[in-house]
Structure 1
Amino acid sequence: MQMKVFATQDGKATIVCPQCGLTRRVDASSIYKHNKNVTVRCSCGHSFRVSFEIRQAYRKSTFLFGQYRKIMDDSTGPFRQMTVLDISQHGCRFKTPIAHNLQVNDLVHLEIPLTDARKSIIKVTAQVRYVESQTVGVAFVDFDGGSEKALSFFLLP
């Protein structure tokens, strides 16, 4: 079993031994440059695999129902349904219930209703960064109105 460990932008990560619970703070940036998958041996003797992932911003797991539409050269396509799996200040990952025609570098317009007290709706233009079957990862390019501020408040712990 491999444990995924997220590092902050400065490269610091916290590893917790699954056997004894011992916590250790490490500099993952030097490890990440060479190999993001390593085997760690705890002082209790337990060995386990760790995969490091360095992110620019906190990514929150979600289950939000929203909609997207592809922005084409001459027009925009129809809105289609999506489920937002996770979201950060810089982008999100969503899944479509049916096959789509999105490709890397396509521009899409997203509308994501949040579960905050104000029932905010994030409206943002995003660029597709990866596609794997019905799962799509996008980077936010341009927020509409107060969407960026609403997202910032939504992401607060």
Structure 2
Amino acid sequence: MGDTLKIFIRKLGDIRLSCPYCMDHKIIPGEKIKGEHKIRIICSCKHAFDVEFEYRKKTRKNASLDGHFEKIDPLMAQDSSRRSKTSWDLASIANQHSNCKIKNLSVDGIGLTSNYSHTIKVGDLLEIIFTLDNSSATIMEKIYTVRSVEDNYMGCEIYLHDLQDKDLAFYILS
């Protein structure tokens, strides 16, 4: 298998890893990996795999927001005319056609769980629409690159920064 398992770390604590071969779990104390960026793990099933640690730089806010995600083509992500939806359309999509729950947000990323089984994989681009639970009920429409997938949970990184970033930053810090 030759794949590298990427783990995102913001606060150093115990880390739970799953072997990609046998799915057995192993807990590594955080102090053993402090400062490390890549290690090799040998599982009890005798398979070896690499683990890469990425330390978080931005504040992440826990959330519980309904949203809608849709896989998009990379060419569509570059097309600015794709944002032809009105605010009403976006609100309707995010609230009435919800297919996910936004679990956490940062100015650079998002974590969400799909309400249904999916075929999303690392590297896919998602258009995600959701409404912030602030006093303005700000509707967010952003494109993200999928960085991790575990069952129905997806961790994503912002694909393109835009004018909505200031609204998101204010929300995260409030």
Shorter-chain TM range is 0.5 to 0.7
What is the CA–CA distance in structure 1 between the aligned matches of 2:110 and 2:103, rounded to whole Å?
A: 8
The percent identity for this pair of structures is: 24
Contact 1:83–1:94 (CA<8 Å) still a contact in 2?
Answer: yes
The residue aligned with 2:100 is 82
Q: Aligned pairs, how many? A: 118
Q: CA deviation at 1:72?
A: 2.8
Q: 1:141 aligned to 2:146?
A: no
Contact 2:74–2:125 (CA<8 Å) still a contact in 1?
Answer: no
Q: CA deviation at 1:143?
A: 4.2
Task: Give the secondary-structure state (helix, strand or coil) at the position aligned to 2:160.
Answer: strand
The residue aligned with 2:57 is 56
Q: 1:153 aligned to 2:170?
A: yes
Q: Deviations over 1:48-93 (max 9, x none)?
A: xxxx9831100111101011100036879x9761101111111011
- Structure 1 stretches of 4+ with a deviation exceeding 2 A read 28-31, 72-76
Contact 1:6–1:53 (CA<8 Å) still a contact in 2?
Answer: no
Structure that is richer in strand per residue: 1
Structure that is richer in helix per residue: 2
What is the CA–CA distance in structure 1 between the aligned matches of 2:70 and 2:105, rounded to whole Å?
A: 18
Q: 1:117 aligned to 2:122?
A: no
In structure 1, stretches of 5+ residues that fail to align are 8-27, 36-51
Task: Give the secondary-structure state (helix, strand or coil) at the position aligned to 1:122.
Answer: strand
Task: Give the secondary-structure state (helix, strand or coil) at the position aligned to 2:154.
Answer: strand
What is the CA–CA distance in structure 2 between the aligned matches of 1:110 and 1:103, rounded to whole Å?
A: 15
Q: Alignment RMSD, CA only?
A: 3.4
Q: Give the TM-score of the pair, scaled to structure 2.
A: 0.57
Instruction: Answer with 1 or 2: which has the greater Rg.
Output: 1
In structure 2, stretches of 5+ residues that fail to align are 1-8, 13-29, 38-52, 78-92
Residue 80 and residue 73 in structure 1: after superposition, are their counterparts in 2 closer, same or farther (change >3 A)?
Answer: farther
What is the CA–CA distance in structure 1 between the aligned matches of 2:118 and 2:158, rounded to whole Å?
A: 19
What is the CA–CA distance in structure 2 between the aligned matches of 1:141 and 1:70, rounded to whole Å?
A: 13
- Whichever residue aligns with residue 138 of structure 1, its letter is C
Q: 1:127 aligned to 2:129?
A: no
Q: Deviations over 1:99-134 (max 9, x none)?
A: 011010001101121011111111111100011110
What is the CA–CA distance in structure 1 between the aligned matches of 2:115 and 2:142, rounded to whole Å?
A: 21
